Chains A and B, each alone.
Chain A
Amino acid sequence: ETGVTQTPRHLVMGMTNKKSLKCEQHLGHNAMYWYKQSAKKPLELMFVYNFKEQTENNSVPSRFSPECPNSSHLFLHLHTLQPEDSALYLCASSRDRAVFEAFFGQGTRLTVV
């Protein structure tokens, strides 16, 4: 148990669907992250929020839309995804961006059909 909770754990969606991934942490952390982990590829940083402000968008397609309503919650809104977007989506948090230790959730396994 890392203190970072992601829901749902598994999600199957069609290419025309809209869904959202949720991440929650009650560690008092101020930085939150979305990562994508595809089969046989390294973890890719997608978005970073620091004190609820988005500070990083690593050229992520607009069909992925993050939202950080408060420092404890992070969402990833998904719409019109492609099959190649199927992956494990991981949320992480850290006390702030500069600290060395990030805490990861267990991830949401997304399958786009």
Chain B
Amino acid sequence: DAKTTQPNSMESNEEEPVHLPCNHSTISGTDYIHWYRQLPSQGPEYVIHGLTSNVNNRMASLAIAEDRKSSTLILHRATLRDAAVYYCILRDERDSNYQLIWGAGTKLIIKP
């Protein structure tokens, strides 16, 4: 299974953009990149996913490098409610089990 590497933690100021990096140098052509986040005392929450092109939704943007060996989750204007652990996960669409292999994630700390 292709693995991802994320920083253990990051800090950002409230109302500023946040760029959360993820490295996945062994990604295969059929791996989709998923992002979930887990707020304190909550279950994980889907954020966004993509394959090759950059993606935007109401929560965030996903920027995928041209070689797909890295990606960045962008929160355009962080609020205190965005403080969470952010998980970057690959899922191989050839895998009939469609399993998500979770890592340790990045703990995002938002400073007021």
Contact between chains at A107 and B43 (CB < 8 Å): yes
Q: How large is the interface on B (under 10, 10 to 19, 20 to 34, 35 or more residues)?
A: 10 to 19
Cβ-neighbour of B46 out of A44, A55, A100 (below 8 A): A100
Is A69 in contact with chain B by the CB < 8 A criterion?
no
Contact between chains at A97 and B43 (CB < 8 Å): no
Roughly how many angstroms separate A62 CA and B71 CA in the complex, as a whole number?
39
Residues 66-104 of A at the B interface (beta carbon under 8 Å): 90-92, 97-98, 100-104
- Min CB gap B46→A, angstroms: 4
Question: Which residues on the A side are within 8 Å of B101 (C-beta)?
Answer: 42
Is A106 in contact with chain B by the CB < 8 A criterion?
yes
Question: Which residues on the B side are within 8 Å of A90 (C-beta)?
Answer: 43-44
Contact between chains at A100 and B41 (CB < 8 Å): no
Contact between chains at A104 and B97 (CB < 8 Å): no
Interface residues of B (CB under 8 A from A): 32, 34, 41-46, 49, 91, 97-104
Interface residues of A (CB under 8 A from B): 2, 4, 42-45, 48, 55-56, 90-92, 97-98, 100-107
